[in-house]
Amino acid sequence: MKYNELYEIGKNKLKAAGIEEYELDARLLLESVCTTKRHDLLVNGEREVTTGQEQDYVNHILKRGNHVPLQYILGEQEFMGLNFTVTPAALIPRQDTETLVEEVKRHLYDGMTILDMCTGTGCILLSLLYYSNNCQGTGVDISAEALKIAARNEERITSLPRNAPPIKKVNWIESDLFAKVSGRFDIIVANPPYIPTKTIDELMPEVRQYEPLLALDGKKDGLYFYRKIIDRASQHLNKGGMLFLEIGFDQAEVVANMTAEKGFYDTNVIKDLAGNDRVVCSLL
């Protein structure tokens, strides 16, 4: 079969399955299967694909038609200009979370120590380490499976060419929040689960059916993990240390109040590119 015929089939199947970005997704999956770049499809549409590629593509389209996230099919997501491996063991890196990383970067100096609580794919910590020098990273997650992905991503990111000192080895810790964490850090950053349990059902099927519930569910009011993290953070921050939390769009005030109650000051709320409150940042 020809490249552009296969693309048409993929597009139509995804459209029929109600996938919003059916054209884009059909193209990206085809490019992935055929290891081609965008213009190949436009210029060489008459090219024959192998039966193996055709079968792989049909399988991918079937999965995507069932709302499996594109990134889990491709196995990758770009974040902060870097490519991260993703599997259903961890949340797919979100563009909103780049706002969190950008805010930490504004306060990050070379040589600082950073703790990333609920690290998942490790995308927050690893991008901070990639864009700084000589910082020491610690990544914590309750999920051993997530930490395997994070370690794989560490290998990927540390092997990238960069005109700077090598990235220091990350200390990955399997721990329920601070249970197995010792010592103090200059920066604590976290994107914990923050969706209230009853709201999970309203999320897109891609998220609700395929992303790990463990990484999304913030329990009854969505604030469970903020309480736990803020409660313990001061015991693990150096004097003058900073806490950066990603939050849901309607959680800024209540989370900011929690930090104030635990002795943090100079609390700032930062908006994401869509104009929603997205990050609470506090000084100890």
Query: Which segment (131-139, 159-167, 188-196, 249-257) binds ligand GLN by CB under 6 A?
Result: 188-196
Two tokens at 246?
């990603």
Burial class (CB in 10 A: 0-12, 13-18, 19+), 197: middle
The pair of structure tokens assigned to 15 is 């459209």
- Specify the residue, 130 or 210, whose C-beta has the smaller distance to ligand GLN: 210
Candidate list 207, 214, 254, 269; residue touching ligand GLN; CB under 6 A: 207
Smallest distance from the beta carbon of 222 to ligand GLN, in angstroms? Answer: 8
Is residue 191 at the binding interface for ligand GLN, with CB under 6 A as the rule? yes
Smallest gap from residue 208 Cβ to ligand GLN (A): 9
Residue found under tokens 């929603």: 276
CB-nearer residue toward ligand GLN: 16 or 213: 213
> CB within 8 A of 215, min separation 6: which ones?
90, 91, 118, 120, 143, 146, 193
27 vs 278, beta carbon nearer ligand GLN: 278
Per CB under 6 A, 122 contacts ligand GLN: no
CB 135 within 8 A of CB 168: yes
Looking at the Cβ atoms of 58 and 68, the one nearer to ligand GLN is 68
194 near ligand GLN (CB under 6 A): yes
> What is the 3-state secondary structure of 88-138?
CCCCCCCCHHHHHHHHHHHHCCCCCEEEEECCCCCHHHHHHHHCCCCCEEE
Residue nearer to ligand GLN on the CB measure, 122 or 192:
192
Place of tokens 């950066």: 244
Q: Is 193 in the site for ligand GLN (CB under 6 A)?
A: yes
What span, in angstroms and rounded, lies between the C-alpha atoms of 199 and 269?
23
Per-position x/- string for 84-103, each x denoting binding to ligand GLN as judged by CB under 6 A, each - no binding: ----------x-x-------
Contacting positions for ligand GLN (CB under 6 A): 94, 96, 191-195, 207, 216
